[in-house]
Amino acid sequence: MFKVLFLIDHAPNYRESFLVELSKYFDLAVVAHPCEKDKLVPPRVRGHYRYYELRKTRGSKLRLNFELQGIIRKENPDIINVALNFRYPLRFLTFLLNPGLQTKWVWWGQIFGRNDNMLLINLKKWFIKKSSGVLVYSDEIADRLQGLNVISFNNSQYSEKEFVALDNRKGEKLNCLFVGRPQKRKRLEILCELAKSREDLSFRFVGPGMEEYFRNEDLSQNIQLFSAASGEELRAHFQWSNLVVNPGHVGLLVMNAACHNRPIVIDSEVRHAPEVILAKESNQFFIDFTDPNQVNDFFDDLFANGDILVEKGQQLFGTAISKYTVERMALNHKLMFDQVISKSG
């Protein structure tokens, strides 16, 4: 079995099922920084792969860690899969100072950041050209890297067995669900104002620190706050809902909605994480949440045409389970790694 060393920024609980799936194909070692430092939750138990935690890191904006070289020597992997993130400059120094590793080095991740300029973009492409390839979050990113050895792994956090096609039954009120961390970029205040003006809508905000975040706010009675949930508890929130709402930045919530057969409405003007491509591919709702007339017209239309919620949920569910699962994600990694190993062998 070939050895893969996977250096990722963090290996939190939502990455665990993918790492376990990947370890079925390769002798896997995972290298990551502590989850807790960046307010992420580690898995309660890690699967059958070796795990190295980089605790001797210095810096905050730019982070320096001198352990990678020693781990590479110890593992002597056939593939080195590394998240391309300029916040960790010693990854790139290790790459440049060890040309013999470049034939087994595969870059990984979102690749393009929100504040990239042409200099940064060209520098990233230069590093990718000198490596054996790059694995990226989505087809949209892969399209921007045409001409390079690139494969999209269609980022996901769910296995096929976790997809549950919940019924969507609408009552007198439309039940709207948000799941995630309460952050300014999520723009939950827009939903708070909407709740005050529309008694025909009910809202649940589910996430870590939700009650603390809104402790000084005068929320209307049609908003309920819940702490972080998982498993059956989270599924119960989705069963209650008719629609997932995200007025700000959106990421893994798209997959979460898909996994539970719920449609999602996303702000059309905000720049989103790569997972938004799944919502686009499955023709989900996009509106300008800063335009009250457009928002009210949208919800009025949903009351007039309730069947569309079921249709959109099924579209999102179907697209995701056919293309965006950890099983498919691991197979796409295997496709790249097998290709690199065959060339180097």
Which pair of tokens denotes residue 38?
């960046």
Query: Domain boundaries in the chain?
Result: 3-157+325-344, 161-323
The Cα–Cα gap between 204 and 171 comes to 16
Spell out the residues 6+ positions from residue 278 whose beta carbon is closer than 8 angstroms to its own: 138, 254, 255, 258, 316, 319, 320, 324
The torsion angles phi and psi of 286, rounded to 5 degrees, stand at -130, 120
**In this structure, which CATH number among 3.10.580.10, 3.30.70.100, 1.10.260.40, 3.40.50.2000 belongs to the domain 161-323?**
3.40.50.2000
Per-residue model confidence as pLDDT tens for the chain (345 residues) = 899 999 999 999 989 999 999 999 999 999 999 998 888 889 999 999 999 999 877 777 788 888 889 999 999 999 999 999 999 999 999 999 999 999 999 999 999 887 778 999 999 999 999 999 999 998 989 999 999 999 999 998 899 999 999 999 888 899 999 999 999 999 999 999 999 999 999 999 999 999 999 998 889 999 999 999 988 999 999 999 999 999 999 988 999 999 999 999 999 988 888 788 899 999 999 999 999 999 999 999 999 997 999 999 999 999 999 999 999 999 999 999 999 999 876
Nearest to 276 by CA among 178, 40, 284: 284
pLDDT of residue 227: 94
pLDDT of residue 230: 86
Could you check whether 3-157+325-344 and 161-323 share the same CATH topology? yes
Domain 3-157+325-344 is of which CATH architecture? 3-Layer(aba) Sandwich (3.40)
pLDDT of residue 333: 98
Spell out the residues 6+ positions from residue 305 whose beta carbon is closer than 8 angstroms to its own: none
Q: Which residue has the tokens 């649940």?
A: 204
Length of the chain: 345
